[in-house]
């Protein structure tokens, strides 16, 4: 039987994966589809931590530019959006039989535990999916940077960045039919070429801690399973 290549996985989910393409808020069927994929992965044996975005509600930087709300406050509003997504995912995961805990970098006592590294590791050791909400708890940092930070703190073997496209392309595949997927990139390639797939701060953290990043399409069944077994799928940044 094939051996798992990655035994502790940090999965980065964008807020857009919680709703239908071009939609807003939380769509129950979309969350169910993601929860079923995550539960199936857990049955294979890896420990799974998840960092969720909040773009299905608002993005702090964009919202601040379009409103009269300062960036600091807008970013905290975005952090609260990730808590909404985390709680929704927790409930659906537990409905499909996967024990789960939500740990937040900002305090929301009624529905989340605070993020404490040792507590998070204990949950993982007990077979619980840990959903990490609230970003880093600080404004001006993206949830990509949060994913890199948490992966380093938890000593994750890999970050899987789940997207709606198959990997990193030479240009936007939604707009350019000639765009070609790039199967492998170095951290330096991403930083030098200013590729938008993941924030420079996140890539720098990954490079410093030698954490590979796999960018793949979460909506294609079996992609994440292939990734954790070490099969070539999507784009690997290392």
Mean local confidence (pLDDT), 182-193: 94
Decide: 8 and 228 in contact? Cβ < 8 Å: no
Decide: 90 and 52 in contact? Cβ < 8 Å: no
> Model confidence over 7-39: pLDDT tens digits?
999 999 999 999 988 889 999 999 999 999 999
Decide: 201 and 195 in contact? Cβ < 8 Å: no
> Model confidence over 76-100: pLDDT tens digits?
999 999 999 999 999 999 999 999 9
- Starting at the earlier edge strand, list the strands of the sheet with 158-163: 113-114, 100-104, 129-133, 47-52, 8-13, 158-163, 213-217, 235-237, 184-185
* Widest Cα–Cα separation across the chain: 57
Spacing of C-alpha 197 from chain mean position: 12
Domains of the chain, each with CATH number or no CATH: 8-237 (3.40.1160.10)
Quote the CA–CA distance of 137 and 54 in Å, as a whole number. 13
Quote the CA–CA distance of 31 and 209 in Å, as a whole number. 31
Decide: 151 and 159 in contact? Cβ < 8 Å: yes
Mean local confidence (pLDDT), 217-226: 90
- Whole-prediction pTM value? 0.95
Kind of pairing between the strands at 129-133 and 100-104: parallel
pLDDT of residue 185: 96
Mean local confidence (pLDDT), 141-162: 97
What percent of the chain clears pLDDT 90, i.e. is strictly above it? 85
Mean local confidence (pLDDT), 30-51: 96
Q: How confident is the model at residue 102 (pLDDT cuts 50, 70, 90)?
A: very high
Question: What contacts 24+ positions apart, CB below 8 Å, involve 228-232?
Answer: 228/4, 228/5, 228/6, 228/9, 228/41, 228/44, 228/46, 228/158, 228/160, 229/2, 229/3, 229/4, 229/5, 230/5, 230/6, 232/183
Mean local confidence (pLDDT), 170-186: 87
Q: Is 236 left (phi over 0), alpha (psi -120 to 50) or beta?
A: beta
Decide: 105 and 132 in contact? Cβ < 8 Å: yes
Comparing CA positions, the residue from 49, 48, 64, 57 lying closest to residue 80 is: 57
DSSP annotation of 185 reads E
């Amino acid at each position: 039987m094939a051996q798992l290549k990655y035994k502790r996985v940090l999965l980065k989910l964008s807020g857009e994966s919680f709703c239908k393409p071009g939609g807003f808020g939380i769509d129950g069927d979309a969350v169910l589809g993601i929860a079923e994929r995550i539960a199936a992965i857990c049955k294979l044996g890896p420990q799974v931590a998840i960092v969720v975005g909040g773009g299905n509600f608002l993005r702090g930087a964009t919202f601040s530019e379009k409103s009269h709300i300062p960036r600091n406050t807008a970013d905290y509003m975005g952090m609260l959006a990730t808590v909404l997504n985390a709680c929704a995912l927790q409930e659906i995961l537990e409905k499909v039989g996967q024990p789960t805990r939500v740990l937040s970098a900002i305090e929301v006592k009624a529905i989340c535990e605070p993020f404490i590294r040792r507590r998070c590791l204990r949950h993982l050791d007990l077979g619980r999916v840990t959903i990490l909400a609230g970003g880093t708890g600080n404004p001006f940092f993206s949830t990509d940077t949060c994913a890199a930070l948490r992966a380093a703190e938890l000593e994750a073997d890999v970050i899987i960045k789940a997207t709606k496209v198959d990997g990193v392309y030479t240009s936007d595949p939604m707009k350019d039919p000639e765009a070609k997927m790039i199967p492998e990139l170095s951290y330096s390639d991403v930083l030098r070429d200013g590729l938008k797939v993941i924030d420079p701060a996140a890539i720098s953290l990954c490079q410093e801690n030698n954490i590979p990043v796999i960018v793949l399409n979460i909506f294609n069944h079996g992609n994440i399973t292939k990734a954790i077994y070490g099969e070539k799928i999507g784009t690997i940044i290392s």
